[in-house]
Structure 1
Amino acid sequence: MKDRRSFIKKTTLGATGVALGSFAFPAKSYSNILGANDRVILGSVGIRGRGKGLLDSFTKMHDKGVFVKTLCDVDSSLFNERVQLATNNQGGKAPKTETDMRNVFDDKDIDAVVIAAPNHWHALSTIWATQAGKHVYVEKPSSHNVWEGRKMVEAARKYNRVVQVGFQNRSISNVMQAMDFLHNGGIGEVFMARGTCFKPRNSFGRVADSTPPSSLDYDKWLGPANYRPYNEKKGHYNWHWHWDTGNGDTGNQGPHQFDVARWGLNKNVHPVKVQSMGGIFGITKEECSQETPNTQISTFEYEDGKILEFETRGRYTNGESNGNIKIGNMFYGTEGWLEINGSTWKAYKGSEKEPFAGSGMADGAAVGGDTSFRTAPDSDGHFANFITGVKSGNRLDINCDVEVGHMSTVLPLIANIAYKTGETLRFNGEFENFIDNEAADLMLTRRYRYPYIVPENV
């Protein structure tokens, strides 16, 4: 295990990788070089749920030169409705369909792919795509485990591809403004960040294993995950609440607020300590197959003593802070505190009850005489930002590069490991492993199911 972990370094490795199967060709071999009109041709992988939303957004950019050529999903029952959606948004231009993402990656006309498959597919699909020369937009969390997340970073660097992770707050003008405010000392030195994910969810039930519907390629749906018989309650969306395929709400909605918390703390390193506790409350094992906790409190400590807290509440609850926040963030500094609720933020000085700064408060008092942070940065949104990066081919042009996404994704992943072990864990950020805890280290990766294997050398 130690030899395996030696590869998981903070810096990107330069080892020569071996591409899998049909992907053994150079990253620059795809033929559709962007033309004078900067047309971008996309493939959309995973078109249920969040994937449908992404498809709708990207096809609505048709007037900006974006064309979704291919829709891909292992469930063919989705095709008719999604093709119609895309066709309507693209001025009558219909996409083709595929059930195997590898055919999408093999298409040399496609410049980039949008990945909204379940969490356990994020890493391998991104690696395959970059090996095939595609730029990638991948939903959060960037990976299902820590080790494969680092492999995504290595692949993006090796094949020089732009990989944007779907942390949309990075491209919301008011959130960007709040971050500028914090980083410029708006509430003094920020010593603690708190994220919340309060989403009451009822039992989704339990049924016996059965035969997959004829429209679903169940083997491809499972992909890298361990084999298990098909079960209706462990499939579409409910995969979030089973460890082989999901990461619970701490790793579902949570990553967005983890990212904002880390961003506000201005931490570009991993924490040195993590602890997490919780459980499944209000739902019995007899009535529901859920494995992940619906109530979870996680705490992280950085080397300088600064703290990041995160709480998941999956039952009925009040909100927090002045804004009755249920999905959001709070930051605490030596001179005040700040809350972010969606795209709205407010800052409070000392023990004052009224905000002295916030979104829409351009006339507020300056911090250190500087009012530049008062104007929210211009942003066309996260999807447009990705297209900008695809056109330039420069990862510096995107707001959430894969390494940024990986750093934030590690937080809920190691929180879940602390929850499973029931221990306070010390973390070595340079090598992305735990200190003196082999049991926890084993959870940094997984046993992959052939042939859906994330390679050691990408």
Structure 2
Amino acid sequence: MTLEKKESVSRRAFLDLSLKSSLATAAFAGGFPSIVPASVFGKNAPSNRINIAAIGTGRISRGHDMPGVWKYDNALIMAVCDVDSNRANAAKQLVNEYYTKKTGKDYDGVKVYTDYRELLNNKDIDAVLVSTPDHWHAPIVINSVRAGKDVYMQKPASLTIEEGRKMADAVKKSGRIVQVGSQQRSMSQFRYAAELVRNGRIGQLKTVYVGLPGDPSGDTELEMPIPKNLNYDMWLGTTPEVYYTEKRVHPHVGFDRPGWLRCEQFGAGMITGWGSHHIDCAHWAMNTEHTGPVEIWGRADFPKSGLWNVHGIFRTEAQYANGVRMIVTNEIANGIRFEGTEGWIFVSRGDASVTTSDPIAKQNAAKALDASNPKIIQSEIGANEIHLTVSKDHHGNWLESIVSKKDPIAPAEVGHRSCTTCLLHHAAMKLQRKLFWNPEKELFINDIEANKLLSRPQRAEYAVR
């Protein structure tokens, strides 16, 4: 082991020991230690902090991920990174202003990067937030855990099933703590609904309906000059070179919902965007978190022209080995409906949204929890029944896991499996026929055409290895 690695390991060991000692005096709630308040370990003790860098500093980072961690006194955002230098500098200002207000003293301790690979070389950084476009999630996570960083990553876990498997394997090999941003697991109604289903409150589970929002198509957009503040080649990453236009990337001014979310080059649309949330929670209730469906079929409308080309109206179905059928569509209410032999349960976010431009903010909110009989959702889960992991805050659960070295509530392997299922539904949309899937081998059965959809060609400089 090199001296540099020894120093890094020594620092982490000291950090773990200090925080574990503090946790011993902290209150416990729901089986997880509380985040340690500043009064326990002292605000000015650098050895007791988890130093964090934010990679990707747009809408979701500014409105959700950075605020999700900076509120904890044992976490310090010390660096920010974005291929758009304007956004990187705006993030620096945002974080500095927050810490100035929090401490009552002028603060200017945030370092700016425009290449995440340089950031990962900084040994003082313990963990990273990955809040980039979807096509960058897996590559950055893989390189981050190999660099010894713990990671909070936005969902979906990957652009393709193949790179998702590489990501999950890299995380397992590294031993680092990776939390997938499936924050619905930290919303009490989703956990409770899953516990009710698992404990047979609706009898034998038969069918799961997953309702998703939709995305509109768009017009053809003309080529535009690449802004000087944007490293567009790196923004494209593994994906093919295509001309720059603002609605393909993100707003040049402001932080509204970006156009890349509607381009198949960078993601699959709502089937992974929101599907990763709902299918993940459905799997939680179905006890299928480490597997997937065995048959998938369905249909979808795709735009015939225009820049934005992700799926429109769709309905796909899947059959699991345990006999449960899952129906996923944007033709029903946003949420998850579990139907059993003795009733049904519906669960959603209600009126909660992540950002002001989240699609749910523009919809009529459904009930957060409903059932065919009110007694179903009024029942208590007994001491000898199945109790699922409790997390009252998704980012906080990640920080707790970094300290305890125990899996977070949404670990990488589980995130990969839910993302895989989303991508299987997307494959069914594209091929418009029944597909047969082997969850153990992660291959379509006797289907060369379908197996070609497991990966995409990647540009060499950014390829996932």
Q: CA RMSD in A?
A: 2.5
> What is the CA–CA distance in structure 2 between the aligned matches of 1:225 and 1:28, rounded to whole Å?
34
> What is the CA–CA distance in structure 2 between the aligned matches of 1:294 and 1:392, rounded to whole Å?
43
From 53, 56, 62, give the equivalent of 1:52. Answer: 62
Note if contact 1:75-1:99 (Cα within 8 Å) is conserved in structure 2.
Answer: yes
Q: Which residue of 1 aligns with 2:138?
A: 123
Q: Which residue of 1 aligns with 2:242?
A: 228
2:430 is paired with a residue of what secondary structure? Answer: helix
From 329, 333, 346, give the equivalent of 1:311. Answer: 329
Partner amino acid, structure 2, of 1:86:
V
Partner amino acid, structure 2, of 1:383:
H
Q: Structure 2: any 5+ residue segments left out of the alignment?
A: 19-40, 42-47, 251-257, 351-367
> What is the CA–CA distance in structure 2 between the aligned matches of 1:28 and 1:336, rounded to whole Å?
55
Q: Which residue of 2 aligns with 1:348?
A: 372
Q: Which residue of 2 aligns with 1:216?
A: 230
Q: Which residue of 1 aligns with 2:79?
A: 70
Note if contact 1:262-1:308 (Cα within 8 Å) is conserved in structure 2.
Answer: no
Bigger mean CA offset, 152-161 vs 83-92:
83-92
- 2:382 equivalent to 1:382: no
1:109 is paired with a residue of what secondary structure? Answer: coil
Q: Which residue of 1 aligns with 2:29?
A: none
From 83, 87, 111, give the equivalent of 2:96. Answer: 87
1:451 is paired with a residue of what secondary structure? Answer: helix
Q: Which residue of 2 aligns with 1:338?
A: 345
> What is the CA–CA distance in structure 2 between the aligned matches of 1:228 and 1:356, rounded to whole Å?
56
Q: Which residue of 1 aligns with 2:185?
A: 170
Deviation at 1:174, TM superposition (A): 2.4
Note if contact 1:169-1:175 (Cα within 8 Å) is conserved in structure 2.
Answer: yes
> What is the CA–CA distance in structure 1 between the aligned matches of 2:6 and 2:322, rounded to whole Å?
43
Post-superposition Cα deviations, 1:294-332, rounded to whole Å, max 9, x if no partner, equal: 11111110123211111125xxxxxx5xxxxx3211000
Note if contact 1:40-1:391 (Cα within 8 Å) is conserved in structure 2.
Answer: no
User: 1:1-150, aligned counterparts within 5 Å?
Assistant: 29=9, 31-33=11-13, 34=15, 36=18, 37=41, 38-62=48-72, 64-90=73-99, 91=102, 92-94=106-108, 95-150=110-165
Going from structure 1 to structure 2, the CA distance change for 1:84 and 1:161 (only over 3 Å counts) comes to same
Q: Which residue of 2 aligns with 1:452?
A: 462
Partner amino acid, structure 2, of 1:103:
E
Note if contact 1:331-1:338 (Cα within 8 Å) is conserved in structure 2.
Answer: yes
Deviation at 1:55, TM superposition (A): 4.1
Note if contact 1:177-1:374 (Cα within 8 Å) is conserved in structure 2.
Answer: no
> What is the CA–CA distance in structure 1 between the aligned matches of 2:340 and 2:68, rounded to whole Å?
39
> What is the CA–CA distance in structure 2 between the aligned matches of 1:67 and 1:259, rounded to whole Å?
29
Q: Which residue of 1 aligns with 2:31?
A: none
Post-superposition Cα deviations, 1:155-183, rounded to whole Å, max 9, x if no partner, equal: 11111111110100111122212211111
1:443 is paired with a residue of what secondary structure? Answer: helix
> What is the CA–CA distance in structure 1 between the aligned matches of 2:460 and 2:58, rounded to whole Å?
25
Relative to its length, the structure with more helix (as a share) is 2
Note if contact 2:206-2:325 (Cα within 8 Å) is conserved in structure 1.
Answer: yes
Deviation at 1:204, TM superposition (A): 4.1
Note if contact 1:272-1:427 (Cα within 8 Å) is conserved in structure 2.
Answer: yes
Q: Tell me the TM-score normalised to structure 2 length.
A: 0.81
Deviation at 1:46, TM superposition (A): 0.6
Q: Which residue of 1 aligns with 2:45?
A: none
Deviation at 1:31, TM superposition (A): 4.3
> What is the CA–CA distance in structure 2 between the aligned matches of 1:198 and 1:57, rounded to whole Å?
25
Deviation at 1:372, TM superposition (A): 8.1
Deviation at 1:25, TM superposition (A): 7.2
Deviation at 1:435, TM superposition (A): 0.7
Partner amino acid, structure 2, of 1:356:
K
Deviation at 1:391, TM superposition (A): 1.6
Note if contact 2:317-2:326 (Cα within 8 Å) is conserved in structure 1.
Answer: yes
Q: Which residue of 2 aligns with 1:161?
A: 176
Deviation at 1:384, TM superposition (A): 0.2
Post-superposition Cα deviations, 1:104-139, rounded to whole Å, max 9, x if no partner, equal: 111111111110111111111000001000011111
Partner amino acid, structure 2, of 1:83:
K
> What is the CA–CA distance in structure 2 between the aligned matches of 1:235 and 1:419, rounded to whole Å?
25
Partner amino acid, structure 2, of 1:304:
N
Note if contact 2:80-2:113 (Cα within 8 Å) is conserved in structure 1.
Answer: yes
Going from structure 1 to structure 2, the CA distance change for 1:65 and 1:357 (only over 3 Å counts) comes to same
Q: Which residue of 2 aligns with 1:8?
A: none
Post-superposition Cα deviations, 1:415-437, rounded to whole Å, max 9, x if no partner, equal: 11111122210001111010111
Note if contact 1:31-1:108 (Cα within 8 Å) is conserved in structure 2.
Answer: no
User: 1:183-222, aligned counterparts within 5 Å?
Assistant: 183-199=198-214, 201-222=215-236
Going from structure 1 to structure 2, the CA distance change for 1:30 and 1:445 (only over 3 Å counts) comes to farther
Going from structure 1 to structure 2, the CA distance change for 1:374 and 1:158 (only over 3 Å counts) comes to closer
Going from structure 1 to structure 2, the CA distance change for 1:420 and 1:374 (only over 3 Å counts) comes to closer
- 2:290 equivalent to 1:276: no
